[in-house]
Structure 1
Amino acid sequence: MQQAWNSDRRLTAISRASLSVPARQAVVDRQVSPVRSVLDYGCGRGDDVRALQQLDCQVVGWDPFFRPDAGLEPADVVLLTYVLNVIEDPQERRKTLERAWNLAGTVLVASARLTWEKSKVKGETFGDGLLTSRQTFQHLFRASELRNYVEEVTGVRAVSAAPGVVYAFKDETARLSYLAQRVVPDAQWLASEDTTSAIAAVVDHFERRGRTPRMEEMPRPMAELLGHMRPNELSRLVRDSADPAKVEEGAKRSTLNTLLFLAVELFNGRSPFSSLPLSVQLDVRSFFSSYAEACKRSDRLLLKVRDDAYVRGAMNASIVGKLTPTALYVHQRAMDRMPTILRLYEHCASIAAGRPRVWTMAKLRHQGRAVSWLDYPDFDTDPHPRILSSYQVDLKTLEASHTSYAGSTNRPLLHRKHEFLAPEDPDAEKYRRLTDAEVKAGLYENPHLIGTENGWEAELTRCGRQLRGHRLVRRPPS
């Protein structure tokens, strides 16, 4: 029988010079903002508290060791940052999550270290985790385990915001607003200073969205500028000024975006129409005969994600991305140009296990559903960028894995960069000229040799060439 033991948890509280990854993600996702109260439950040394105060957030930090006398009052947002993984008693771990959830008025942001960090944690097996040499405890979660655990304890459907970061919302409307924010881009409004420019902004929105906006959707200053106009008068002016072809294209785009949102929502559980964000409700009313019809079409779309032939056909038809015998690779800047079924494929993986905060390229397998987000930090500056890391989600098991290439001396690298981008991308032509020069120089005659740093450098030497930025030049004699 294992001997009872209590860890020295204060030793796990590290000092940070900037926001932690979960707090930063919550700020980026607009879950933490100056208009919401925040409680950092188990705040450690309080670095996130100080950083959020610098962002004008109403934040209070509580910690059983460092800030035991701080008030434990409910807040709109509760941050539970890397707390669950340091509690060695499963019952206490569960009670801690329950207390944090009970204190959250709008959303709980729960985060924990994941199993891929095991190489960084040295220790002996103890209970369901590891006892380290510093007498601290670590339970490393699988990505799906953390999400399932939060759902089990809170009783609500949770969303993976990033690897190891889970959001649990108190209200379905808040959860759906967050999903809509991730899936359907927010409306971009042109600046308006008077009635004429405000009408022009509404015309622009009409052309991009395919429907006239309601007053409640407009920025407040714009709504005030147009408040004196009758709705019918504004609608007539907008329709007379808009380009019908652009409106038609906008309607098609909004229809597909609505189907995409509803399919992602079904992947995470369907809600009543009244819970949907206002903009989505209006899109449903504008582009479908009923909510039931929209749901049926989105259901069919989700089922097609499982169809190998359909997915492969969509990849073949995609105007963006590089298709290989195993997967389609698409740059982040071109993701919105993929067919809707492929956008859904990627979104389902991100909702299940979180999309990493930093990534360059998505890899979608066309046999056996899996999505990887690949990080090439020097993609824009290096003619043949080296991979730094890969985060993969298996959609059959919802398990995630992470691979780091930081210590590798012979990393994989990319060729033909223009193929990963949309044709109209401003950098595509420059990359295409480099590829043409490399083909002409014979550098791609042995494709099996050039996939890694060493092999590529050897081929450059063989062909007597070297790179200066994105130009291929002759190598000077030795």
Structure 2
Amino acid sequence: MSSPLWDSDRRLTAIGRTRLSVAARQAVVDGQISSSTTVLDYGSGRGDDVRGLCEMGFQVQGWDPFYAPDQEPWPAEVVLLTYVLNVIEDPTERRQSLTRAWELAERLLVVSTRLTWERSKVRGQQYEDGVLTSRRTFQHLFSPAELRSYVQEVSGIQCVSAAPGVVYAFRSDKARLRYFANKILPRTAWLSSADTGSAIAAVVEYAEQRGRLPWLEEMPTEMARLLTHLQRSELQKIVRRSVVPERLEAGSRTSTLSTLLFLAVELFNGRGPFGSLPLSIQLDVRAFFSSYKEACRRADRLLLKLRDDSYVLGAMRASAVGKVTPSALYVHRRAVDRMPIVLRLYEHCASIAAGRPELWSVVKLRHQGRAVSWLDYPNFDHDPHPRLNSSYSVDLTTLNVSYVSYTESSNRPLLHRKHEFLAPDDPDAPKYRRLTQSELRAGLYQNPHLISSEDGWEAELVRCGRELRGHRLVRRKDLGQNR
């Protein structure tokens, strides 16, 4: 690349923030940054993430060539490279910065950049592989797939899209697989234990949830101490006398499916040896499968089923949750874990490829082709017909990603029949179902092509002489509008 025709002042790209950046917040939410973790913000700009993380009690240092150049950056367990790569106009220097950040990361490198759909917010003209902005700075906007591939190429390892525009590069397979396990497997809540009796009760509860007896290494430290005087065979006999067989069997089925889901996702992202698996996964494999080889074979078959349109459509029609349309299945966030295992795998693969957004209410899975959309209806629980705020979609065939915001739209898409997106036993489903029945009786669904947007829905409410008060449909007060 030839030398730039302007004096680039990258300091102008460092903005002030009142909250953590998306990448830093994601790392905290995912448990990758804790009180015992050392953190380096490499290219820390004005230092807002450094201050924010310090206020939260984390061990963090910032380094920036302009705002904090005084000391050399030190290696840290977690290195943040936040909105740095996109402002470097020289591809060679861009790569060097990523390489240096990776060298400093002892356990995890977190990389985030601005994304291609932000182009409308960047004023300027095309220059080389980016945009020369109106402020005489530079922006190279990445697609999520490009960013993940770029970090993989430089680091030489399989990376994970933690969120749109946020990539995790783990030093070890074990760390990467622990991340997957925390994302995929249901959390087991341990009952508090103050004595041997309560510790045994907690073990019984765990066994019913997981379908097997826990090992001491899986238990909270205090609980393990309370039970060290018992032989495993003794503890096993006590648990067998105490568990409810039906719950134990249900826990076994759930753990078997969760293990298959984990192994299938692992294959999608690059499978490691048995010894690299988190301990609890290793124990699940031993408890519920004849061998690791057999478990992997079954997980491989599950992943292959994602290519079969008829199988995926059949799973959607058999799903106990969600709404099936001629093109897709729509499921509320609260019900996603109740989908058939192949559909949960479908959604997880998309999240690994492009990152699951922080804000979403309903996931859409296409049954022809492979594409997933996360739809954000911010007032789903309170608005009887929630308005669509944004849509983030990834095509698993091409890995192309699209983002559409409806915040500036004066006629947003909206939802009807909210109960259909939930599990039948969701506590809010009866209230939503009653509203749908009232609207059906009032004739509001006679023209379905009109009611998918705000203006059309309001016109139908007027036509039918109705209005909404919360989740109740009532006659309009303006008698001139009544039928």
Q: Given that residues 6 and 88 in structure 1 are in contact (C-alpha distance below 8 angstroms), is that contact kept between their aligned partners in structure 2?
A: no
Aligned to 2:390: 389
| Aligned: 1:233 with 2:234 | yes
Tell me the alpha carbon deviations over residues 191-221 of structure 1, each in whole angstroms, 9 at most, x when there is no partner.
2222211111111110111000111111112
Q: Given that residues 61 and 70 in structure 1 are in contact (C-alpha distance below 8 angstroms), is that contact kept between their aligned partners in structure 2?
A: no
Q: Distance in 1 between matches of 2:225 and 2:475?
A: 64
Q: What SS class does the counterpart of residue 433 from structure 2 fall into?
A: helix
Aligned to 1:399: 400
| Aligned: 1:56 with 2:57 | yes
Q: Distance in 2 between matches of 1:185 and 1:265?
A: 16
Q: Distance in 2 between matches of 1:185 and 1:61?
A: 35
Matched to 2:127, the amino acid is F
Aligned to 1:334: 335
Matches within 5 A, 1:181-192: 181-192=182-193
RMSD: 1.0
- Between the two proteins, the alignment pairs up a number of residues equal to 478
Displacement of 1:190 in angstroms is 1.6
Identity among equivalent positions (%) equals 68
Matches within 5 A, 1:122-133: 122-133=123-134
Q: Distance in 2 between matches of 1:447 and 1:194?
A: 61
How high is the TM-score relative to the length of structure 2? 0.98
Aligned to 2:348: 347
Structure 1 residues without counterparts, runs of 5 or longer: none
Displacement of 1:97 in angstroms is 0.3
Aligned to 1:21: 22
Q: What SS class does the counterpart of residue 26 from structure 2 fall into?
A: helix
Q: Distance in 2 between matches of 1:200 and 1:378?
A: 40
| Aligned: 1:111 with 2:97 | no
Matched to 1:225, the amino acid is L
Q: Distance in 1 between matches of 2:3 and 2:166?
A: 32
Tell me the alpha carbon deviations over residues 289-330 of structure 1, each in whole angstroms, 9 at most, x when there is no partner.
000000000000000001000000000000000000110000
Q: Distance in 2 between matches of 1:293 and 1:323?
A: 33
Q: Given that residues 320 and 423 in structure 1 are in contact (C-alpha distance below 8 angstroms), is that contact kept between their aligned partners in structure 2?
A: yes
Displacement of 1:224 in angstroms is 1.7
Distance 1:347 1:417, change over 3 A: same
Aligned to 1:211: 212
Q: Distance in 2 between matches of 1:429 and 1:93?
A: 55
Q: Distance in 1 between matches of 2:359 and 2:220?
A: 30
| Aligned: 1:268 with 2:274 | no
Q: Distance in 2 between matches of 1:116 and 1:53?
A: 32
Aligned to 2:459: 458
Q: Distance in 2 between matches of 1:436 and 1:258?
A: 40
Q: Distance in 1 between matches of 2:389 and 2:238?
A: 52
Q: What SS class does the counterpart of residue 28 from structure 2 fall into?
A: helix
Q: Distance in 2 between matches of 1:186 and 1:106?
A: 23
Aligned to 1:282: 283
Tell me the alpha carbon deviations over residues 397-427 of structure 1, each in whole angstroms, 9 at most, x when there is no partner.
1121100000100000000000000111110
Q: What SS class does the counterpart of residue 442 from structure 1 fall into?
A: coil
Matches within 5 A, 1:59-98: 59-98=60-99
Aligned to 2:172: 171
Aligned to 1:47: 48
Q: What SS class does the counterpart of residue 116 from structure 1 fall into?
A: helix
Q: Distance in 2 between matches of 1:397 and 1:130?
A: 25
Aligned to 2:310: 309
Q: What SS class does the counterpart of residue 263 from structure 1 fall into?
A: helix
Q: What SS class does the counterpart of residue 302 from structure 1 fall into?
A: helix
Q: What SS class does the counterpart of residue 369 from structure 2 fall into?
A: coil
Displacement of 1:228 in angstroms is 2.2
Displacement of 1:2 in angstroms is 5.9
Aligned to 1:37: 38
Q: Given that residues 106 and 170 in structure 1 are in contact (C-alpha distance below 8 angstroms), is that contact kept between their aligned partners in structure 2?
A: yes
Displacement of 1:6 in angstroms is 4.4
Q: Distance in 2 between matches of 1:204 and 1:134?
A: 61
Aligned to 1:360: 361
Q: What SS class does the counterpart of residue 403 from structure 2 fall into?
A: strand
Q: What SS class does the counterpart of residue 78 from structure 2 fall into?
A: strand
How high is the TM-score relative to the length of structure 1? 0.99
Displacement of 1:341 in angstroms is 0.2
